[in-house]
Structure 1
Amino acid sequence: MGTWDIGHFDNDSAADFGGRVDDAEPEKKADVLRTVLMAAAGTDPQDYLDEGEEAVAAAALVAAQCPGGEPVTTPYGPKKPLPPLPADLRPLAVRALDRLTAQNAEPLDLWAEAGAAEQWLTGIAALRAVLAAAPGE
């Protein structure tokens, strides 16, 4: 993973994902987010989850539309505005974040190896809190 900072879009995978979101038609943007969130959330906890940066970025985009959510202003995120996202993405994003912070998840392992797991987990916890507090369906 080419990573240059701790932010949700500060790695190659998430930055590329931001471009994919931009490339999608407005009515398909939610589907792009749903696909990566489902991929992370649906991984068996016994299996090793070897990716997840895109799911973190997708969760950040969903959280940005929730009360108390912070807008995604990084130049590595989508450049085009997202339409209002369906509320059912919120609990899905929570499940994805929970999976990414559990055992057998590469992002957590990589941040631990870099000595920044606590800082990364703080950012994930902030996203999760916004998503969990927002109405989900």
Structure 2
Amino acid sequence: MGTWDVGPFDNDTAADFCGDLDAAAAVEREGIVCSALIRVIDNADYLETPESEEAVAAAALVAAHCPGGPPAEPVYGPKEPLPDLTGLRDLALQALDRVMTEPSELLELWDGSHGSSWRAKIRQLQKTLLPQPPGEQLQLI
């Protein structure tokens, strides 16, 4: 596993996932993101690292389309445009919850090294993905 930092795109698996998105036809990209999220959500058994890393990257792509969301990684994220992924917010939240729930290999690996920084990144994505209460929505002038 090649991992160089705690961000959602800071590993080989996520970079490859983004490359696959770029290689896919534009009409297939949302389905690829959705499939990565569902694979993790539907796994009640031991969750392997590669599936988790793809799901975290997919959730980060969804978050990038949300108000106040961090932009996708400019170096390792997809280069080709993605459709509006905000309809996948709930799936992205569920996938991140699953990655953060045992049995999860990625969770175990991060518990051994820089776990608090990685968890903070995941919590930031989760916060971005939560719908904003009506009173807290930004008003455009």
- Fold match, TM over 0.5? yes
Higher helix share: 2
1:100–1:107 contact (8 Å) kept in structure 2: yes
Give every structure 1 segment of 4 or more consecutive aligned residues whose post-TM-superposition deviation is greater than 3 Å.
Answer: none
Question: TM-score scaled by structure 1?
Answer: 0.90
Contact 2:67 2:128 in 1 (8 A): yes
Match of 1:39 in 2: 39
Do 1:66 and 1:134's aligned partners in 2 also have CA atoms closer than 8 Å?
no
Letter in 2 for 1:125: R
Q: Tell which structure's C-alpha radius of gyration is larger.
A: 2
Question: Is the contact between residue 22 and residue 79 of structure 2 (CA under 8 Å) also seen in structure 1?
Answer: yes
**Structure-1 residue corresponding to 2:23:** 23
Structure 1 vs Structure 2: percent identity of aligned residues?
A: 48
Q: What is the aligned partner in structure 2 of residue 127 from structure 1?
A: 125
Q: TM-score by structure 2 length?
A: 0.88
**SS in structure 1 at match of 2:62:** helix
Which residue of 1 is the match for residue 96 of structure 2? 97
Say whether the 8 Å CA contact 1:65–1:85 is kept in structure 2.
yes
- Partner Cα distance (2:109, 2:118) in 1: 10
Give the aligned length: 131
Unmatched tracts of structure 1, length 5 or more: none
Deviation at 1:80, TM superposition (A): 1.3
1:83 maps to which residue? 83
Question: d(CA) in 2 for partners of 1:6 and 1:56?
Answer: 11
Shift of 1:85: 2.2
Give CA-to-partner distance per residue, 1:1-33, whole Å, 9 cap, x none. 211111111101000001011111111100000
The one-letter code sitting in structure 2 at the alignment partner of 1:27 is V
